[in-house]
Amino acid sequence: MEAKLRADCVFCRIIDGKESAQVLYENEHVISILDVNPVNFGHALVIPKKHYENFLLLPEEEYSSLLKAVKVVAEAVINGIEPKPEGFNILSNNGFVAGQRIFHVHFHIIPRYLSDGLKFKPIVKRYAKGEIERYADLIRQKINEPKTQIT
């Protein structure tokens, strides 16, 4: 099963050296490459070397190395490319409806410019009376629910 996942995943093929990419950073746990379909030039991806379909499947022991790599690459993008970005976005799309098209967890680092035309303008909703408390309670319930340990 793992072999099939890796064969079908473009990120796994890049990690395995079976497909080329512009590698920006790499260590034992993580690889970073330039996105071939950038929002702005310098748009980078940070990808764990082990295959996990989405962020919720990423084991806790992977968090630290992944987030450290995101910071290293974001600093290099912001301080390394010209024209110098005026800001940046860090995004992770999880699930098709959220825009995920490659089902291997990854983070986008997108350099931003005032004039780039990219707008994140969601249509915000308003909670009806009592709804914000209800949603908060539902979420807190899951956060505080005992987790089953697999031994």
Rg of the chain (C-alpha set):
18
- Pairwise CA distance, residues 17 & 37, whole Å: 20
Q: Strand 44-48 vs strand 30-34: parallel, antiparallel, or unpaired?
A: antiparallel
Catalytic residue among 43, 104, 106, 108: 106
Does 29 participate in catalysis according to the annotation? no
**pLDDT tens, position by position, 36-61:** 999 999 999 999 999 999 999 999 99
Predicted local confidence at residue 122, as pLDDT: 86
Confidence of residue 146 (pLDDT cuts 50, 70, 90): confident
Residues 6+ apart with CB under 8 A from 59: 52
Specify the amino acid at residue 139.
I
What string of H, E and C letters represents the secondary structure of 67-100? HHHHHHHHHHHHHHCCCCCCEEEEECCCCHHHCC
**pLDDT tens, position by position, 72-125:** 999 999 999 999 999 999 999 999 999 999 999 999 999 999 999 998 888 999
- Pairwise CA distance, residues 60 & 90, whole Å: 19
What six digits make up the tokens of 60?
Answer: 């806790």
Confidence of residue 6 (pLDDT cuts 50, 70, 90): low
- Pairwise CA distance, residues 16 & 45, whole Å: 16
